Each structure stands twice: as structure tokens, then as C-alpha cells.
Amino acid sequence: MDTSALHARLTAICEEITHGEYDKAKAIFELPLCGGDEVNVLAEALGMMLVRIEAREFELGRAIAALTSTREDLVWHKERLAQENNRLRAELRRKAEGVRPVATAPAMLFLLRQAERAAMVDATLLLTGETGTGKGLFARHIHDLSTRAGKPFVVINCAAIPASLLESELFGIEAGVASGVQARAGRFEQAAHGTILLDEIGDMPLESQAKLLHVIETGQVERVGGRKPIDVGVRIMAATHRDLGKRVEEGLFRADLFYRLNVMPLHVPPLRERREDIPFLVRLFLTRIAERSSLAASSLSREALDLLMRYNWPGNIRELENELERAALMAESVQISPSDLSPMLRGAPAGSFASADGHAHAPGKGFSALSQDEQARLSGAAPVGAPACWPPEAVDNCTQGGIPTLAQVELAHIKAVLARLGGNKSRAARILGISREGLRVKLQKNGQN
């Protein structure tokens, strides 16, 4: 092979190498067979160059892998920091408001003593009671009294998360399980060495119950798509408004999991069985509402409290707080009067009410059952006895002999609520008992922006 042919062959090989076809490089080492010493030296030089290229590519690949791993670690730490930030913010709010349950009724004082004993051990805890009784508040109180105080307290509502996503939320998920999925820690990992509250445990799917049982028995979790067990060392508390024993009989809840959870059962009584606490809850809620809004009423008339004491509160403490917020923001005076309360409560003395358990209960004792000091503290200013009439705007716009239509009364009421809340539609919808979208539809229907 002459020099020009060798040059052409060498040029072709170099072009192939340049385009990444490194397997063609072996042809370089065949060139010395066709040429002289100069070709031999050149071939060896090109061969060493190829080795260096491959070495650099190998090092580059390792660097890319390291950077990818570092990025994933940074994403994971960023998520943990965000979660920790949210937890600390909630902690500050909690400390500002105070979380010790209000307890003056004998049943609640007994429950507080049980809670103090439960805080001294690390056994699983099952809190039962109707919706809105404050089971989560008691769980937090027990956590704060325990040796785990200061460690994470994580709450997850098992009924609020779709069954298909619940396991990844609880136990975490590894990257690559599905397209675009990144590794993420679950709630158990977030609660490591602290406490996790599994709210509405009675609604957990059977498939997830089996994994939860494994976590209780081993103290370890495995992420979805993962094989490596992760030690979490959490204390598990569960809460439900359902009868788990009945759920077991119906085949909707695992008996072995029920026994594991029911090591320390605590039952939170409904508000109708602890009416002595209502005046103190009223004072607490009105103080909080007044702190959030300077326009809110800050006291309650004797007649209004009498209605609160007689009502049986099927929604328990949550319903009481919502009722007080609505009344405080809508009251025309600094004091809430009976006319500011919802119609359901204004009819309270007339008969009994169905509670969340589906049974009817007789009305309770009213304001007169309280001590004079309690009456004075709650009353504040003199009661405003005159009932509220139709909203003035509705009367001004009526055309039927001075009687406004239902639509006019409704629109006037909505506008009054919005005015009181500075146009905040989300809060207005919550107080009116409708969705934000429902409020928007009502306003549009009446030509209001």
C-alpha cells in the first residue's frame, strides 16, 4: 500500500472515530502491516489517543452519575426542609393558641388523667369518638406530654387520600416506579422518632392495613418500589369515629390490626355529654376570632349562651366553633344575641336533636345552670334582645307590599357578609355554609361581580 493510500485509509479511520465509531479504531493497529516505521509510530500514537478518549468518557460518565445523585439528594433535602418549615409554622401557631384540651366536665377530667398516663408509655393508641370532638387535639396533647415532645408530630387523614395514593403517602416512593416519579419520603419517615396520627383509620383500605400491620410489628417501612427497609421508630396513634369492632365483623377491617391498635383505647365524649365545657370553649373561640378580625363580636348575651347550652351539637366542637365565627362576624353589636345565631339553634329549647350517632337526645340545661361569675364573664355588655329583621337593603328593594323575596334576602345577606369580611370570598363561603364556587354562581346569577 503506497503512502497516498495509507493516508486515505488513516483519514477514513479518524473520521469514523470522530463520529463515535470507536470499534473501528482497531483498524489503526493493522496499518503497520501495510506501511513502514512512520506508519507504525503514528498508529501507536492514535491508539493511545483513543485510550485517553475512552478514559475521559468513563470519568465524565462517573461525574454525571455523581451530579445526578447529588441533585436527587438536594431535591429530597429541599422537600424535607419545606416539610419541616411547615411543621415549625404549625408549631408556632399551636403554641400561640394553646393546645391543652378544655376540660371542666367530669368525663373530660377523667380523660385528661388517662391521657397523662398514655403519655408515659410508647404503646399504640386508639382514639375514638364522634366527628369534631377533638381527637386530634388529644393526640397532640399526649405527644407534647411524652418524651417525644419536640420531635415531629405528623397527621394524615386516611379518608381524604385516594386508595391508589395512600401507600405512597404513608410509606414513600422510590424514583422510577412510574414515568416522571421522583423519590419521596412518606409520612412515616417524616415522623421519624416522633409520633404519627392516622386519622380516620377506619376508612383505610384492606391492602394498606396489611402494610401498616408490618410497620407496627417491625418499626420499619419500605417505600413503594423499594426493597430496603427504613427504620422510623415512630409512635403510632390512630383516630376514628367508626366502630372498628363492627368493621372487623363486616370484613372491612383486619382483626389483627385492630388488636394491635387497641392497646390503649381512649374515648373522647361528645360535646352534649360535657356541656359544662361549653362556656369555656365559647370564651376561647371568641378570643381567637376577635384576634383575627377587629370587626367580630367579642361577647355573648345570656339568652344566646342559653341556646348554645341547650343545643346538642351533632358536629361537636367543630360545629360550635363554626357557629360562633359566623355569628361573631355577622353580629350588629359587640355582643352576640340569639338573633345572630342560626335558626337551628334558635329552635333549640323546643325539642330534642339528633346527634352524629343517629340517636335523639333531650336538650341540655341552659345559661341558668352556670354560676353568677361564669354568667358575668360570658355576658360582657348588656344583652341585645331585639331580633334582627330582614336586611335593610332587601326591604328597600322589595316590590311585594314591603315583603322582600327570598332571592333579595339571600343576596342582601351575602353582600353583608362580604362587606363584613372585606370582600374575602373564601371566608364568606365558609361562613355561609356553601362552596366558593357556589358563592360565585349566586353572585353572577344576581348580576354581581
Average pLDDT (433-445) is 81
Average pLDDT (136-160) is 92
The superfamily (CATH) of domain 401-445 is Homeodomain-like (1.10.10.60)
pLDDT above 70 covers a percentage of the chain that reads 72
33/412: higher pLDDT? 412
SS (H, E, C) the chain: CCHHHHHHHHHHHHHHHHCCCHHHHHHHHHHHHCCCHHHHHHHHHHHHHHHHHHHHHHHHHHHHHHHHHHHHHHHHHHHHHHHHHHHHHHHHHHHHHCCCCCCCCHHHHHHHHHHHHHCCCCCCEEEECCCCCCHHHHHHHHHHHCCCCCCCEEEEECCCCCHHHHHHHHHCECCCCCCCCCCECCHHHHCCCCEEEEECHHHCCHHHHHHHHHHHHHCEECCECCCCCEECCCEEEEEECCCHHHHHHCCCCCHHHHHHHCCEEEECCCHHHCHHHHHHHHHHHHHHHHHHCCCCCCEECHHHHHHHHHCCCCCHHHHHHHHHHHHHHHCCCCEECHHHCCHHHHCHHHCCEECCCCCEECCCCCHHHCCHHHHHHHHCCCCCCCCCCCCHHHHHCCCECCECCHHHHHHHHHHHHHHHCCCCHHHHHHHHCCCHHHHHHHHHHCCCC
- Dig out the grid coordinates for 29 from the structure: 493497529
Q: Give 277-345's CATH code, choosing from 3.30.430.20, 1.10.3720.10, 3.30.470.30, 1.10.8.60.
A: 1.10.8.60
Answer yes or no: is pLDDT of 378 > 50.
no
Q: What local confidence, expressed as pLDDT, does residue 425 receive? A: 84
Domain extents in the chain: 3-75, 106-174+184-269, 277-345, 401-445
Q: Which residues contact 324 (CB under 8 A, 6 or more apart)?
A: 282, 285, 286, 289, 336
Other Cβ atoms within 10 Å of 47 Cβ, number: 14
pLDDT above 90 covers a percentage of the chain that reads 34
Answer yes or no: is pLDDT of 5 > 80.
no
Residue 115 contacts residue 266 (beta carbons within 8 Å): yes
The 10s digit of each residue's pLDDT in 200-226 is 999 999 999 999 999 999 999 999 888
388/55: higher pLDDT? 55
Residue 280 contacts residue 102 (beta carbons within 8 Å): yes
Residue 257 contacts residue 263 (beta carbons within 8 Å): no
Cα–Cα distance between 191 and 232 in angstroms, integer?
7
Q: Which residues contact 261 (CB under 8 A, 6 or more apart)?
A: 124, 126, 201, 216, 236, 238, 244
Of 32-41, 207-216, 388-397, the range with the lowest mean pLDDT is 388-397
Of 40-44, 142-146, 354-358, 361-365, the range with the lowest mean pLDDT is 354-358
Mean pLDDT of the chain: 78
Average pLDDT (358-367) is 47
Q: What local confidence, expressed as pLDDT, does residue 96 receive? A: 47
Q: What local confidence, expressed as pLDDT, does residue 62 receive? A: 74
Location of C-alpha cell 405512597: 168
| Third-level CATH fold of 106-174+184-269 | Rossmann fold (3.40.50)
Cα–Cα distance between 244 and 160 in angstroms, integer?
18
* Cα 324 versus chain centre, distance: 23
Residue 261 contacts residue 126 (beta carbons within 8 Å): yes
- Dig out the grid coordinates for 185 from the structure: 419520603
Q: What local confidence, expressed as pLDDT, does residue 383 receive? A: 32
366/139: higher pLDDT? 139
Of 166-170, 249-253, 417-421, the range with the lowest mean pLDDT is 417-421
Cα–Cα distance between 423 and 391 in angstroms, integer?
18
Angle separating helix axes 278-292 and 316-330, nearest 10 degrees: 50
Average pLDDT (252-277) is 94
Of 29-38, 72-81, 144-153, 208-217, the range with the lowest mean pLDDT is 29-38
Main-chain phi, psi angles of 81, to 5 degrees: -65, -40
Residue 266, strand partner residues: 127
Cα–Cα distance between 340 and 109 in angstroms, integer?
32
Q: What local confidence, expressed as pLDDT, does residue 347 receive? A: 72
Answer yes or no: is pLDDT of 93 > 70.
no
Average pLDDT (55-74) is 75
Q: How confident is the model at residue 269 (pLDDT cuts 50, 70, 90)?
A: very high
Residue 164 contacts residue 178 (beta carbons within 8 Å): no
- Dig out the grid coordinates for 142 from the structure: 399526649
Cα–Cα distance between 92 and 90 in angstroms, integer?
5
The 10s digit of each residue's pLDDT in 425-435 is 887 887 777 77
Q: How confident is the model at residue 64 (pLDDT cuts 50, 70, 90)?
A: confident
Residue 227 contacts residue 178 (beta carbons within 8 Å): no
Cα–Cα distance between 39 and 46 in angstroms, integer?
10
231/178: higher pLDDT? 231
Average pLDDT (26-50) is 59
Answer yes or no: is pLDDT of 81 > 90.
no
Average pLDDT (272-290) is 88
Cα–Cα distance between 255 and 252 in angstroms, integer?
9
The 10s digit of each residue's pLDDT in 247-263 is 999 999 999 999 999 99
Other Cβ atoms within 10 Å of 124 Cβ, number: 16
The 10s digit of each residue's pLDDT in 97-127 is 555 677 788 888 899 999 999 999 999 999 9
Of these ranges, 54-58, 67-71, 279-283, 444-448, the one predicted with the greatest mean pLDDT is 279-283
The 10s digit of each residue's pLDDT in 305-316 is 999 999 999 999
Is beta strand 125-128 parallel, antiparallel or unpaired with respect to 220-221?
Answer: unpaired
Is beta strand 220-221 parallel, antiparallel or unpaired with respect to 299-300?
Answer: unpaired
Cα–Cα distance between 46 and 22 in angstroms, integer?
12
Q: What local confidence, expressed as pLDDT, does residue 429 receive? A: 80
